[in-house]
Amino acid sequence: MGGDDLASDDEYFFDSSSYNKRTEASSSDEDASSFAADAVITPSSTKKRKIGAVANATESTSNIASSSKKRNKTKNNGAPSSKSNLIIHAGRGIAFDGPDAQSLFFGTCYSHAVKLTSESVIATEDQLHDAEEADEETNNLVNLEQFLFQPHHFYANSDAVDAKSNEKQHSSLSEFLKLPNLIPSMKRLKNWKHSHSPMILIITLSARRCVDLQKQLTFLKLPVAKLFAKHMSVESQVAMLTGGSSGKNGGKRGKEQKGSGKCYGIGVGTPGRLLTLLRHGSDGANKLGALRLNHTELIIIDCHEDSKGFTVCTLKDTAKELMDLMKEGVVSELEKRKDKIKLALF
């Protein structure tokens, strides 16, 4: 999936053409009137020349006025107008805002993604219409689609900080994780005993960014599950999450726990690979995938901007997969476990 690979700067979920257009004005309306006046009073030796000068001046004034209107229209197009461009604009720096703004932004992204896939959802409902479990599945689907992200779903810093301190706290993941009450329990994190479900799950836009964030986690001195495509296959990651052998490219070995295999307290991944692992094996008897969020307590969404100002929430390769991950794995946990699981925007 696109989110598993390095982020592409050329392919985006939303069309940004109308957001980046800028046109410089070459003249003003005052210049036009000045030009017209000069043209009218130009000395002429014959009546024909005077008439020609007036006609040319009138035509020039009309052309310049028309050009000015076109420039103004082009300038107006430079501001974010469509819903998708407004989302892109709002997503820049959203991690610095409070839970109210974050829940509104994230909810908008979620409803926008659901709306884009509504046609395929309707087709699926039609196919299941005659099935016995159709009503139940349809109701569950509707509930997931109508879910509203609330401020209490997001982490709120209890300490009042100024803009400079806020920027410093978001300068690196190591600083961010030191925020008060962000990590529910450092003791439980270091002795995590649940397979399939890391205590902290970090979601970002590319494998390269995953590697960068993993380096910033070294201060914890804990193994980190690599849940992206650059270094490990899906099979190796499934084995790692389920407590089996992590394979040759498994990276650091997780903490051995008797009866539950190797357990990872922290996982870092891209939306595409996380979604693949969430769905892997979910068609079995228990309908549970290799990745489960039933014990996860903190989901950190990295809002790092790429070279063109896109984040994991707005980049074409990751936006839809992130919202699918929310719908299929996170929303149900937010409803069931209430205050026991939080979202945090970094």
- In DSSP notation, 265-314 reads SEEEE-HHHHHHHHHTTTTSSS---SS--SS--EEEE-----TTS--TTT
> Do 206 and 332 sit in the same domain of this protein?
yes
Q: Is residue 322 part of a domain?
A: yes
Same domain, yes or no, for 223 and 254?
Answer: yes
CATH number assigned to the domain comprising residue 165: 3.40.50
- pLDDT at residue 87 greater than cutoff 90: no
Identify whether residues 251 and 201 lie together within a single domain: yes
Within a domain: 116 = no
pLDDT of residue 125: 54
Q: Is the pLDDT of residue 57 over 70?
A: no
181 part of a folded domain? yes
**Domain count for the chain:** 2
For the beta carbon of residue 10, count every other beta carbon within 10 angstroms: 6
Structural domain contains residue 264? yes
Same-domain status, 186 and 306 = yes
171 and 224: one domain? yes
**Could you tell me what percent of the chain has a pLDDT over 90?**
36
In this predicted structure, what is the pLDDT of residue 297? Answer: 95
pLDDT score at 121: 47
What values do phi and psi take at 343, rounded to 5? Answer: -105, 145
Quickly state the pLDDT bin for 88 (edges 50, 70, 90). confident
Cα-based distances in Å from 229 to 5, 186, 281: 6, 28, 18
**Based on the domain organization, do 6 and 66 belong to the same domain?**
no
Whether 260 shows a pLDDT value over 90: the answer reads no
Chosen domain end from 77, 99, 134: 77
Distance from the Cα of residue 100 to its chain's centroid: 17
Q: Determine, yes or no, domain membership for 119.
A: no
pLDDT band of residue 230 (cuts 50, 70, 90) is: confident
pTM above 0.75, yes or no: no
216 assigned to some structural domain: yes
- Give me the mean pLDDT over the 305-329 stretch: 91
- Of residues 258 and 209, which shows the higher confidence score? 209
Per-residue pLDDT band for 63 (boundaries 50, 70, 90) equals: low
**In a shared domain, residues 177 and 288:** yes
Is residue 203 situated within a structural domain?
yes
| Residue range 78-90: mean pLDDT, rounded | 71
In a domain, 127, yes or no: no
Higher pLDDT, 166 or 274: 274
Return d(Cα 238, Cα 289) in angstroms, integer. 9
* 6 shares a domain with 54: no
Among 48, 77, 106, give the residue marking a domain's end. Answer: 77
Average pLDDT, the chain: 73
Q: For the segment 25-45, what is each residue's pLDDT rounded down to a tens digit?
A: 444 444 444 444 444 444 444
Domain that holds residue 71: 29-77
Q: Domain check: are 6 and 68 in the same one?
A: no
Domain closes at, from 77, 92, 115: 77
193 and 59 in a single domain? The answer is no
